[in-house]
Structure 1
Amino acid sequence: MTLQPEINIGTLGHVDNGKSTIVQALTGVWTARHSEELRRGITIRIGYADASFYECPSCEPPYNYSTSKICPNCKSETKFLRSVSFVDCPGHHSLMVTMLSGAAIMDGSMFVISANVKCPQAQDREHMLAAQMVGLRKMVVVQNKIDVVDRARAKVNYQEIREFAKDTVAGDAPVIPVSAQHKLNMDVLIAAIQEKIPTPKRDSSVAPRMSILRSFDVNKPGTEVDDILGGVVGGSVVQGIFKRGEEIEIKPGIKVGESNRVTYERLVANVETLQAGDGEVKQAMPGGLVAVGTDLDPSITKSDGLVGNVLGRSGTLPDILEKVSLDVDLFERAVGTEQLVPVQKIKMNEPLVLNASTAVTSGLVVSAREDIADVQLKKPICADPGSKVALSRRIGESWRLIGFGTIR
């Protein structure tokens, strides 16, 4: 598949609900590729996989949808509809921060719930809260694992899902029963995605911007100096169109100076290559995940060194923020705690963890009044006024999501 995917669809829900298995059933790709993830059986880093959707002109809907050029039912040639990128997020509550950084680049979501456990599980609530926070209103709910329960339990679970979803962004979302393990009902799921999560209209005239979710050094050890390739950054284009050969900037950039006087310096580079889907492209637009090959020193990009940065056309990115003033919106109770912990107001000198798009930073509250908080950041961020940031507070041994703020 050489077409760039035109939309990002996230997978949300509790850790064992089978999100990665559903993505694999649709795309053929197992998104938990890192060794620690394979060993533990959970997705720790956000994973990605692309699929092409096709429609059979001969079969009746919704059974005419598939991911194949030849209809699996009647063997007719199918018609290409669109290419989709699935963003597979970790479900475990301690990895909530990673999920939020993935939600920053989603156009819609599949919310996966297991038929064989009571709904909602603790992490289902967390992910639904996060979906509301980042405004993920285009949603399809997937009732997975119907192959391991009887009809009566499946019906009870369906009602549990409806009750859970009714006052949330998933209130009018369809609930599609599937067995990801056996690839059952995938045609109906694709039909629901096609109807409920259309490709958003994009404005190609605005200055391009990308949130960096991964960064790499693609050179193998022992590569000859003349053959060394520049650093590569990966992520999703949020707006506009990037073109090969143009000059870009990356902010906040890299740390410079001594330990007691650290500042951040933006990086300037040229776009050498653009990769999307399975191939190289001349330009990259929103939808899907894009790898940008640059002429940066690969030591800067290796091992996810630039994750959390923002990439844009040179001279177009907002200022670097070392301190943020936030309009704060707190949840009634902390997310992910075993007991219900009411959220107290933010206090002076309180440490917080902030997520701004794909950036994660800590900060100290230097002013707190009513619903406004000023936070001095340990590591600066690059964000526009009006951007949302997730706020987490230390509760027990973990950082727990307590609400969000809007940059003033």
Structure 2
Amino acid sequence: MVGLLLGSLLGGAISDRYGKRTVLLVCVYVHAVCGLVPALLPQPVLYLAVRCVTGVCCCCINICSFSLAVEWTPPAARLWPPAFLPFCFSLGTMGGAPLAWLSPTWRRLHLTLALPQLVCLPLYLSIPESPRWLLLRKRMDVLERYRDNSPADKQCLDLLLDSAWSDMQKATEAQKEQSPGGPAPSDIIHLKHPTVLLRLSIMSYLSAVSALTYFGICMNIGSFGVGVYSAQFFSGLSEAPCLLVPLVRLGRRPISMLALFLSGAACFLSLLLSRYNGEPVLVMSLALLGKLCILAAVFISILYSIELFPTVVRQRCVSLVNLSFRVGCLVNSLVPSTPNGAISLAAMVVYSSGPIIGCGLCLLLPETSGVPLPDSVEDCDRQPRPRPPSMGALWRTWKLVSSQTRKAETLPAEKDDTHTPNTHTGLI
């Protein structure tokens, strides 16, 4: 968990500077080597150090892979990458249970996990760089090389960068007008913008409570009275339906609110049943339902974060949101359990109430489904902001509906009196 926290601090900054593809390739190669070291040199201090480095690499891989997958996807299908990547994560979680059951020692388990990574290393070289990062860095030679790969790549790049270049030119001209001849404004100025601060605070809270709920159930999966290997397998299986979330045509904000509310409600019902000696299978099923819903909220929030923040500070904002997620993981690892090994009452109250509060906070966020990614803070300000209706607007709406209802009630009678001769013709 400390390694994941350090990766959240470093991942966004180094990927903004050196590129997402470079950071991703380095972390993948280091991650593969770190998986092999514990199997060959099982020393306690070395093991802890390697696990910390593995956590850093895992966090950087998650940040860069999600961002690259979303940026290389057209806006209409942008919800599929964050759904497919957690689905692969659930497959790995399910596969870990039989591998652990079949492995007689920890060294054998680490060796079994490390060898497939080493075999797949050459495949990662085909991963492309972020097109928007290349555009920001004015790496037009790389973009032209991507365009020359195939007509499909050229069409995809033209679609992704159709409005980005003109928007970035406008933002650059505006910056020159504001500070002619002076230094360019730093990223801290963009981070202090009220719109960015509000969105960053809400998304950080959602990430923290999602981590508390998700890892709280994962770490206590053996506390529901079911075998640990079968519980681990079904824990991974419960995450697989997240692949179907993109089929729900609701938008980012409604799906997030629905997932957070269902997660809190399921955890609350699981808490009630566990306190009244309910069936272990039913208690675990409700807890896994809450885990499924909070996972859906997690990957929606990852996509939501990418769409909410401007390109100039997007990766750093995503890293700060991920940092809040990792802080929630660290706090969760310190939560004590009851003497009989079950989840404590205070922990389950946090797991159930946190997502419900986050559901209400989502009302302050705009809807970004199908909208181009913002490249500047001005683009964020131009996004439609949700506003609660005023009493005057509600009164005007009620009067309009009432008048239309009265007209609809009187219109059929008037129509029958004046247009009776044409009725038969209309039926024909």
Higher relative contact order (CA 8 A, sep 6+): 2
Larger-Rg structure: 2
- If the TM-score is normalised by the length of the shorter chain, which range does it land in? under 0.3
Higher helix share: 2
State TM-score, norm by structure 2: 0.27
State TM-score, norm by structure 1: 0.28
